[in-house]
Amino acid sequence: MAVGRRASFTASLAAATGPAGPYAGVIFDQAGNLYGTTASGGTPYQLTLSGSGWAENTLHTFQYHGDGTFPYGGLIFDESGNLYGTTSIDEPLNGGTVYELEPSSGNWAFALLHSFFFSGAGCCPGPLGSLIIDTVGNLYGTTSGEGAHLEGNVFKLSPSNGGWTYTSLHDFTGGSDGGFPYGSLVFDANGNLYGTTSFGGAYDGVVVFEITP
């Protein structure tokens, strides 16, 4: 299989050691541009076809204080062309963030939609997977160490009066329901949510779960 046009770029190593490159995949827009995130330090980026290669455009550089860092999850679009993503840790609340990037006069305007609060120990308790969006614009995701039991949760963010309302749909206990969901969610045709945890369950392995409206 032939390898076509490729892009290489340097990620910012801002707050920790470890892999700097992308963990999640990329998405296309209608014009054929690619979008993704780099993990360590953290940047959402755009790749645009340019001649025989790709030109990189950094959409936002995370500062760790107030906007988050370590965006392990990828990006998603809404119907208006806005991008949404997550970071896994943040100061001063420690728990990561959900953010929006809105195209504006050739640039991208960053908006913080939600900050997670984490009172436990450990690294990267916020979202590690990508968000999903339903037909009315609600966002859904998982955290790896948030929730009432600090074992992760499934959450929903709903647009409301110019802001966003946060709802925890399930707080994992680390027991029979599992704990530490690292991955993204998926909908079925009836609007039920499905996902996985990284440990727990009847055999102390992993859990595949369903959440019904």
- 9-39 per-position pLDDT tens digit: 544 333 333 446 788 999 999 999 999 999 8
pTM recorded for the entire structure: 0.89
Provide the 3-class DSSP secondary structure of residue 196: strand
Tell me the per-residue pLDDT of 132-163, one tens digit each, with 9 for 90 and over.
999 999 999 999 999 999 999 999 999 999 99
CA angle 130, 60, 49 (to 5 degrees): 85
* CATH number given to 27-211: 2.120.10.30
- Contact residues for 2 (Cβ-Cβ < 8 A; gap 6+): none
| Nearest residue to 150 via CA among 130, 121, 185 | 121
Provide the 3-class DSSP secondary structure of residue 140: strand
| Nearest residue to 183 via CA among 161, 213, 206, 159 | 206
For residue 194, the cross-strand partners are 186, 210
The residue whose two tokens read 């420690």 is: 94
